[in-house]
Amino acid sequence: MRLARVIAVAGKGGVGKSTLSGLLVLALAERAGEVVLAVDADPNSNLGEKLGIEVERTIGDLREDLLDNANDIPAGVGKHEHVRYNIRLALSEGENFDLLTMGRPEGPGCYCYINNILRTFMDDLVDDYPYVIVDNEAGMEHLSRRTTRRMDLLALVSDPTKLGIDTASRIRDLAHRMDIEIGRELLLLNWAPDGMPRALVETIDSSDFDEVVLIPNDARVEDLAVLGTPLTALDGSSRALRAVRRLAAELG
């Protein structure tokens, strides 16, 4: 059985993390010629909007339903099978990707057993796809608690500032302290100017990432964000999309 290539995208709020996650989903699906899995693990869920599909049900909704209705599982159906069935229903289907939205974190109550079932099923689910792209919250709690424990690529997104790059480095260090197997570590420098100030270049050089990828300023992407138009409206003239396509080609 093949193993999916898991790509985790993280970064502080406001650096374009969900936009780059969406572009990666589109570029990798295009390159693979197969359906890829996108996981929106940020409580401020907007990856569905970026990809142009409506999310009707989240894992947070499912978790609450299971806790509230634990005794209402149909006779003859095991709890594991019931969870698997409902997770499948929670998948939103795009043209060349599936989207699983984690939704809100836990409320009061004990979710340990439910989370263990979710993690087991999701570890199985990811290998149905060639690529899995996880759009994380900055603290990456979902990676340690609710989604896969493995990532082939950790992509930290930053704006072109020293503070942003230092923050990306701290999030990377946080990932190292989790029980997660990490492959490569990549810095995605979003909105990169055409001429990089020397001080910023020095900050990048000292950040100790395996690779740095520059995503240029793209007025078309900014226009789509203002209008609330999904990234699927972009074409080959988009500088940001071209840069992410080159990254997708490198990832193979």
Which range marks the domain in which residue 55 is found? 5-251
Using alpha carbons, select from 125, 119, 117 the residue that is nearest to residue 149: 119
Rounded mean pLDDT of 12-18?
Answer: 92
Per-residue model confidence (pLDDT) at position 252: 72
- Residue 231, both tokens: 């990234």
pLDDT at 67 over 90: no
Q: Which amino acid is at 132?
A: V
Dist. CA 6–CA 207, nearest whole Å: 23
CA-based end-to-end distance of the chain: 18
Report whether 9 contacts 157 (CB < 8 A): yes
- Least confident interval from 161-165, 174-178, 226-230: 174-178
Give the pLDDT confidence of 35-54 residue by residue, as tens digits. Answer: 999 999 887 889 999 999 99
Dist. CA 152–CA 133, nearest whole Å: 10
Per-residue model confidence (pLDDT) at position 146: 45
Per-residue model confidence (pLDDT) at position 96: 93
- Residue 30, both tokens: 């295009």
CATH code of residue 135: 3.40.50.300
Angle at 181 between CA 99 and CA 9, to 5 degrees: 40
Per-residue model confidence (pLDDT) at position 233: 97
Per-residue model confidence (pLDDT) at position 145: 53
**CA separation (Å) from 192 to 184, 207, 213?**
21, 16, 9
Rounded mean pLDDT of 70-89?
Answer: 73
Give the pLDDT confidence of 111-144 residue by residue, as tens digits. Answer: 566 666 667 767 777 888 999 999 988 766 555 5
- What value does the mean pLDDT of the chain take? 85
Number of domains in the chain: 1
Give the pLDDT confidence of 166-177 residue by residue, as tens digits. Answer: 999 998 988 888
